[in-house]
Amino acid sequence: MTNVTRMLAGVNLAKLQREVPLGPGGDRVAALFAELAPLEIPQLEACRQAGSLVAGEVHRTIPNAKTFHYLDDSHAIVVYSSLVDFYGMASKILFGGANVFGDHPPIKAPDSIDGTVGKLEALFRCWTPKGLEDDLPSKISLGTLTPEAAELAGFQAASSLLFLIAHELGHVLYYRPPSEEDGRDEPLLTAEQELLSDVSGMQLMVRSAQGTADARMRIGGVIAAMRVLAVFAALGHVFGGNHPHPLTRLQHLWDSTLKFCKTERDFYALTPLAYAVDQKLEAAGLYALGSKERPVATADRMFSCLSALIENVAKGREPIAKVLEVMRFDFESAPRQNLEELAQIAARLFPPTPTQTESPRQDELWAAKAQVFRSLRDEWPEPMRTSFHNAYNTLYTTGGTTHVDHRVPQ
């Protein structure tokens, strides 16, 4: 078999791109795929080097990513331009309404939360049964971002697309040529293989991060990518193959991210941005469907918000009153069962005696966060004051356990 016949994927990808030329940004997907080189799996890296595994952008309005398999055992991963544009615009909207803290000066959002959700809703309304409206960037008016916010938005959008590409690598890894028993031209991945491809993509994103801040951005991009697909499905978009419903895939990603972390504490240290982004995208999706409901205030989502607020206080970025101000709505409106579960998570993660782990810097930070949390014990509104008190008493009885091993069961 010659190199020419082994490269049908590249030939056909180039043909698709000639039929409908790309915009001035060129092939954004190929550029991102190059960032993954060398691929972690030797089998896939050998295909990439041989030219039998390529990835690229094709100008179509369908919000999909897809892998084409060819008879010469070559493969082309394709992401359609409208989805590339959508992730880019959604990220710009999100970071136009996000207060970002870090080792840099704080980035204050020009948009309110309601304004951000409203713009995301308008963006989701660009979906039609035939795909996303053509020339998507012209449909939504975006405000001007600071250079720092624009850089973060670009990083998150790239993370979403890299996750999709990494997922499609699973389609190549699990592919087998069709047989007569298949009864189809091309065998499909099983639902389990689709979920495994999601998990491997998520893990690749986290492992490729350069530090904690990058890891938070990477996992935020992963969750944003899947929530967007879940909203498209709710609006009526049909994804081919044996893909489980995007909501099933999203929950599996959350569960797998928790298991990927060594401890429950590490999970909440990794995911504050992911939770915040997911909540705004879910709210926008509900509104785009015509619902007036707000996303459910789950215990894990509430704790993520609480933990992030307390971290800002512990680092001197926000006054302690901000914690009560932001959390008050959830405390008043969330289901009682969820509030009780929130109290139990807080009791585990903010123990009275500092937890010693392999990460002394994180130990110090979480000890400071626990101190801030305990300083509010008389300030919490009811019923949270009683719930927090009862959860502590149940977990830390006199003469009993002074801390818990909150490692994640594997």
Do 247 and 322 belong to one domain? no
How far is Cα 223 from Cα 278, in angstroms, rounded to an integer? 7
Residues in the chain: 410
Do 157 and 183 belong to one domain? yes
Among 272, 295, 318, identify where a domain stops: 295
Spatial neighbors of 404 by CB under 8 A, at least 6 apart, are 348, 351, 395
Q: What strands lie across the sheet with 75-80, from one edge to the other?
A: 53-58, 75-80, 65-69
Among 295, 325, 351, identify where a domain stops: 295
Contact 278/223 with Cβ under 8 angstroms? yes
Do 323 and 333 belong to one domain? yes
Do 357 and 275 belong to one domain? no
Do 289 and 301 belong to one domain? no
Do 272 and 317 belong to one domain? no
Domain extent, residue 391, equals: 296-410
Do 131 and 186 belong to one domain? yes
Q: Which helix (H) or strand (E) holds 159?
A: helix 147-173
How far is Cα 392 from Cα 86, in angstroms, rounded to an integer? 45
How confident is the prediction along the chain (410 residues), in pLDDT tens digits per residue? 344 445 899 999 999 999 999 989 999 999 999 999 999 999 999 999 999 999 999 999 999 999 999 989 999 999 999 999 999 999 999 988 666 655 555 555 555 667 889 999 999 999 988 888 877 777 777 777 888 888 999 999 999 999 999 999 999 999 887 665 555 555 578 889 999 999 999 999 999 999 888 999 999 999 999 999 999 999 999 887 788 999 999 999 999 999 999 889 999 999 999 999 999 999 999 999 999 889 999 999 999 999 999 999 999 989 999 999 999 999 999 999 999 999 999 999 999 888 888 888 999 999 999 999 999 999 999 999 999 999 998 888 754 455 555 665 55
Please state the domain count of the chain: 2
pTM of the entire predicted model = 0.90
Spatial neighbors of 301 by CB under 8 A, at least 6 apart, are 275, 278, 279, 295
Q: Which two tokens stand for residue 355?
A: 């937890």
Do 282 and 387 belong to one domain? no
Spatial neighbors of 25 by CB under 8 A, at least 6 apart, are none
